[in-house]
Amino acid sequence: MKNRYFVIAGIIVAIIAVLVLSQPKIFRPGKLAGGAERVDSFTLSPGDVLSDCLSENGVPDTIAYYLIQTLSETFNPRNCKAGDKCEIGSTKKGDLAYFKYWPRPVEYYIVRRVSADSYALKKEKLELKKTIMGAEGNIETTLWEAMVAQGIPEELVARLTDIFECQVDFLTEPRKGDSYRLVWESYSGEHGFRTEGEILSAMYRGKESGMNLAIFFKGQHFDDSGKSLVRQFLRAPLSYRRISSYFTRRRFHPILRYFRPHLGIDYAAGRGTPVVSIGDGTVIYRGWKGGFGNYVSIRHDSMYVSNYGHLSRFGKGIRNGTRVSKGQVIGYVGSTGLSTGPHLDFRVYKYGSPINYLRLKFPPMKSVDKKDMPVFEEAKKTAIRQMASVKGAAAEVK
């Protein structure tokens, strides 16, 4: 009996130890002990709120409040966007040393605590050397492997696919022999620091997608005629393996064993694959919906509503009335409801009637203003000249 008590006590001690060790770091508002001994960083994702990110990284709400209030003296936290970087420095004792916010690659805001409830803000700009870089290549296996082999930083691969996401389906359309070319800004500084700036111009020529051009102008990417590459909706709501069922008025249901309309698209994907909203909108339904299982419905405007079924679980903060942004995770692929395997049942309605999303064409969100077209034409000439000079692996553009 005594040994049994010792075993139970040992288990309890082990559980307590695990819980203590797994707790996130807590920043105490005590006296600073000099510079930071520990640095943690994170990048904002679509739909992230700065206060929530600070909390998730161990900053108490009381301190997060002061950090955001101080930051807002110069920078409006409402302008935080996906891709912005944050850095938290803490002392050896766990006290907050500083908080840095990077809205752009070459400048940042730093907030330091000067007393228990007083914080100071300073805007810093790095002394960096800017270099214009370029690279071009052809696909043999995947776009990712081809570009990385050319010495192109991985973050630029992701950014290139984001730029052309409404023109090229990089999951299904790339073919061996497709070619790409891009020119971008690269910044370097002391101690080996390097960061990549804007992609100034890019080209993707595909057997399936044809010729696609991107010109960076006034903070956005446009095609060669001045039309924005941004569309209202994404090409697909997830990274999928294949389309297992298409939009049809007559489909044999694998469980119910009879023919009936399938007014959506089934995307086969691994369980747990993130599912994102195809556009900005408001969640009008989140919950269980019969044969669709876990289900999310989003109203984008007075015209379109998108629906996502068979989810294994819902995204963080997704509930009725939640505002979501294009690309924000709203759930994860599952097989709930009437389903034979993990996939996403995706449906779009226009004025309440189901439509075939794969055939939907969306106009550009914005075009270059007529008064800016002469300047844009000059920017285009420069971009085309720079891209024409690019040969092979990543190198400086002269």
CATH number where 299 lies = 2.70.70.10
Compute the average pLDDT of residues 130-158: 91
Q: Which of 125, 158, 192 is the last residue in one of the domains? A: 125
Alpha helices in 201-289 (DSSP H): none
Question: Containing domain of residue 258, as a range?
Answer: 242-359
Encoded tokens for 38 = 């520990």
Query: What is the C-alpha separation between 32 and 63, in angstroms, rounded?
Result: 14
Q: Computed from CA positions of residues 21, 26, 32, 34, in that sequence, does the dihedral angle turn out positive or negative? A: positive
pLDDT at 258: 37
In the predicted structure, residue 264 carries a pLDDT above the cut 90: no
Q: Is there a single domain that holds both residue 136 and residue 172?
A: yes
Residue 334: count other Cβ atoms within 10 Å of its Cβ: 23
Q: Is there a single domain that holds both residue 252 and residue 355?
A: yes
Q: Is there a single domain that holds both residue 301 and residue 378?
A: no
pLDDT at 26: 40
Q: Which burial class, exposed, middle or buried, applies to 122 when counting CB atoms under 10 A from its CB (0-12, 13-18, 19+)?
A: exposed
Residue 223 included in any domain: yes
In the predicted structure, residue 181 carries a pLDDT above the cut 60: yes
Question: Any idea which of 21-35, 40-54, 213-227, 264-278 has the lowest mean pLDDT?
Answer: 21-35
Query: What is the C-alpha separation between 85 and 257, in angstroms, rounded?
Result: 51
Query: What is the C-alpha separation between 329 and 110, in angstroms, rounded?
Result: 30
Encoded tokens for 392 = 């092979």
**What's the pTM?**
0.58
pLDDT at 5: 54
Residue 316 included in any domain: yes
Q: Which of 90, 125, 160 is the last residue in one of the domains? A: 125
Residue 76 included in any domain: yes
Residue 10 included in any domain: no
Question: Any idea which of 107-111, 165-169, 318-322 has the lowest mean pLDDT?
Answer: 165-169
pLDDT at 190: 66
In the predicted structure, residue 360 carries a pLDDT above the cut 90: no
pLDDT at 138: 95
pLDDT at 9: 53
Q: What number of CA atoms fall less than 13 Å from residue 97's CA on the CB side?
A: 16
Q: Which burial class, exposed, middle or buried, applies to 245 when counting CB atoms under 10 A from its CB (0-12, 13-18, 19+)?
A: middle
Residue 63 included in any domain: yes
pLDDT at 12: 54
Residues 293-349 have pLDDT tens digits of: 999 999 999 999 999 999 999 999 999 999 999 889 999 999 999 888 899 999 999
Q: Is there a single domain that holds both residue 118 and residue 58?
A: yes
Residue 65 included in any domain: yes
Question: Any idea which of 38-47, 67-76, 347-356 has the lowest mean pLDDT?
Answer: 38-47
Question: Any idea which of 101-110, 258-267, 299-308 has the lowest mean pLDDT?
Answer: 258-267
Q: Is there a single domain that holds both residue 252 and residue 352?
A: yes
Residue 15 included in any domain: no
pLDDT at 241: 40
CATH number where 135 lies = 3.10.450.350
Q: What is the pLDDT of the chain when averaged over all its residues? A: 82
pLDDT at 4: 57
Q: Residue 336: which residues within 8 A CB-CB, separation 6 or more?
A: 288, 293, 294, 310, 311, 312
Residues 222-253 have pLDDT tens digits of: 999 999 988 888 878 875 444 444 434 444 34
The pairing of strands 294-299 and 329-333 is unpaired
Residue 171: pLDDT band with limits 50, 70, 90: confident
Residue 7 included in any domain: no
**How many separate domains does the chain show?**
3
Q: Is there a single domain that holds both residue 161 and residue 197?
A: yes
pLDDT at 252: 39
Q: Which of 125, 151, 183 is the last residue in one of the domains? A: 125
pLDDT at 85: 86
Query: What is the C-alpha separation between 59 and 91, in angstroms, rounded?
Result: 13
